[in-house]
Amino acid sequence: MSYVGIVLISHSPKIVEGLKELIREVIQDVPIELAGGTEENEIGTSMEKIMKAVNDADKGKGVILFYDIGSAKMNAEMAIEMLETEAILVEAPLVEGSYVAAVESGMGKSLMEIVNAMEKNF
Amino acid sequence: MELRVEDAIQWFTKVNEKIQENKDYLTSLDQVIGDSDHGINMARGFQEVENKLSTQEYQEVADVLKEVAMTLISKVGGASGPLFGTAFLKFSQAVKGINPVDYTSFTSGIEEALQGVMHRGKATTGEKTMIDVWAPVVHSFQEAHDFEDNPFLKVAKQAMEDTKDIMATKGRAAYFKGKSIGYIDPGAASTYLIFEALEEVIKGSK
């Protein structure tokens, strides 16, 4: 069975590493890819990192993206525009949002169902 | 004048020099109302632009602008990367196939650049951002008829200084609310440097 993939985007690599660890406590099978920091792993975000994370997280059911602040959003939007993958950036808190999305994805929900759940919950 | 490939390269070579010279100044502006990385990010991005432009060959102005755009998008790191990157990418698309770039096409190019920044940042004028410099400069290009008789640099300087009086409502500076009044917006300052460099290229070609 394949799941909707999740991409966690943050200015800090450590934030998304910690978040992935938190989610993996309960959800093991859902693809989670990280795009934290710049190419040099400094504070910032990178469109190329996000593109790679989306590609890696895509298992055929689409990808949902979460971000923290500022340039993360713009870089994520550009990454999505450049890719063919079905990918949606949602306006939900990074930690709670991605946690709930991982649970929903683990239940076999579709990308649109998860996006709707985010809109309803946050 | 018309903008040729070598003029475009010279333009961004000068932008890089100015950004490097003003790196600490830009960062100091960002210290007050942001996260203190504007100068560092811009310096890293434009240094990379310079490295590319000085070693590659380009067929037309649009190719130079595209190289600038893609480099800024991937190397800047902060919000300025996607914003300036989108500006020059839209500019590039608007002048594709036109070489050299005449005044009218250049004007269309910066109109598209401004639209791109507004769309990417979901921002408009009066929010204390780089748009507060881009927009009046675009207007100045629309009003004038050639590069030489266009007071765009004066317009840009005034517009940059006017950002002091605006309270930030976009970007991270918005978190500082009223405290943002009294300071020039860092993105407005770097946009001014871009147009200062353009003015020097135009003067130099006379």
Least confident of A27-36, A65-74, B21-30, B150-159: A65-74
Beta sheet of A32-36, edge-to-edge order:
A32-36, A5-10, A63-66, A87-89
Chain A partners within 8 Å of B75 (Cβ): 39
Q: Which amino acid is at A44?
A: G
Number of structural domains in chain A: 1
Per-residue pLDDT averaged across B188-201, rounded?
98
Looking up residue A9, the CATH number of its domain turns out to be: 3.40.50.510
Record: contact A74-B78, CB cut-off 8 A: no
Print the domain residue range for B69. 5-204
* The two structure tokens encoding residue B173: 């500076």
In this prediction, residues B119-124 reach a mean pLDDT of 94
Burial of A59 per CB tally in 10 Å (0-12, 13-18, 19+): middle
Report the 10 Å Cβ neighbour count for A60: 10
Residue A91 touches partner B, C-beta closer than 8 Å: no
Query: What ipTM does this complex have?
Result: 0.74
Question: Helix H segments across chain B?
Answer: 5-21, 23-33, 38-53, 61-75, 80-94, 103-121, 131-143, 152-162, 186-204
Domain that holds residue A21: 5-121
Cβ of residue B66 closer than 8 Å to a chain A Cβ: no
Tokens of residue A81, six digits: 């525009």
Binding-face residues of B in 124-153 toward A, CB within 8 A? none
Q: Which of residues 48-87 of A touch B (CB under 8 A)?
A: 48, 69-71, 74-75, 77-78
Percent with pLDDT over 70 in chain B: 100
Task: Identify the band that residue B177 occupies on the pLDDT scale cut at 50, 70 and 90.
Answer: confident
**Chain centroid offset of residue A37 CA:** 14
Task: Tell me whether B81 touches chain A (CB under 8 Å).
Answer: yes
pLDDT value for B206: 58
Token pair 């979901």 is found at B122
- Count up the domains in chain B and report the number: 1
Please state the rounded mean pLDDT for residues B84-96.
97
Those residues whose C-beta lies under 8 Å from the C-beta of residue B122, and which sit 6 or more positions away, are: none
Best mutation target among A47, A69, A74, A80 (most B Cβ atoms within 10 Å) is A74
B127-140 per-position pLDDT tens digit: 999 999 999 999 99
Contact list in B for residue A48 (CB cut-off 8 A) is 74
Contact B9, B64 (CB under 8 A): yes
What's the first-to-final CA gap in chain A, in angstroms? 28
CATH of the domain at B183: 1.25.40.340
Name the catalytic one among A10, A11, A15, A101.
A11
Cis omega (within 30 of 0) for bond into B151: no
Of A38, A42, A74, the CB nearest to B82: A74
How many Cα atoms occupy the beta-carbon half-sphere of A99 within 13 Å?
13
Q: What is the pLDDT along chain A (122 residues), one digit of tens a residue?
A: 899 999 999 999 999 999 999 999 999 999 999 999 988 898 889 999 999 999 999 999 999 999 998 789 999 999 999 899 999 999 999 999 999 999 999 999 999 999 999 999 99
Q: Nearest-5° angle of CA B126, CA B90, CA B31?
A: 45
Bridge partner residues of A33 (DSSP): A7
